[in-house]
Amino acid sequence: MEIDGVLKSWALPKEPPQVEGIKRLAIQVEDHPIDYASFEGMIPEGNYGAGTVKLWDKGEFKLEDQDENRMVFELRGQKMKGKFVLVKTKYKGQNSWLFFKRKEGLLTF
């Protein structure tokens, strides 16, 4: 997601939530330059982020609200559509977030 001129990124161990009621762990990773938006491939062992990098979806992103512990946003992707929330947690360190689809009609979080 492009915010303030960089790509904010999260690694998800499982497929992203596409319906309400499913919550997923999301680990925030370092910000990336915008040029990385289309990168897919292998990062070799021994390097930061080693493993397979796969773009799971592409589309538009609209940030609705944000502070240091949560983000509320809308996705208009090929697969992901709707309003979503990322909430910072204490699970597994400081970069852990909970990612879920927001209930329709919910005005505030």
pLDDT winner (highest mean) among 47-56, 68-77, 98-107: 68-77
Give which of 104, 84, 88 is closest to 96, Cα–Cα: 88
Q: Residue 108 pLDDT more than 90?
A: no
Give which of 28, 5, 30, 23 is closest to 85, Cα–Cα: 23
Model confidence over 28-67: pLDDT tens digits? Answer: 988 989 988 888 999 999 988 788 888 878 899 999 999 9
The residues, any chain, with a CB within 8 Å of residue 89's CB and separated by 6 or more, are 96, 97, 98
- What is the chain's mean pLDDT, rounded? 88
Q: Residue 106 pLDDT more than 60?
A: no
CA diameter of the chain = 46
Q: Residue 18 pLDDT more than 60?
A: yes
How far is residue 109's CA from residue 64's CA, in Å, rounded to a whole number?
A: 11
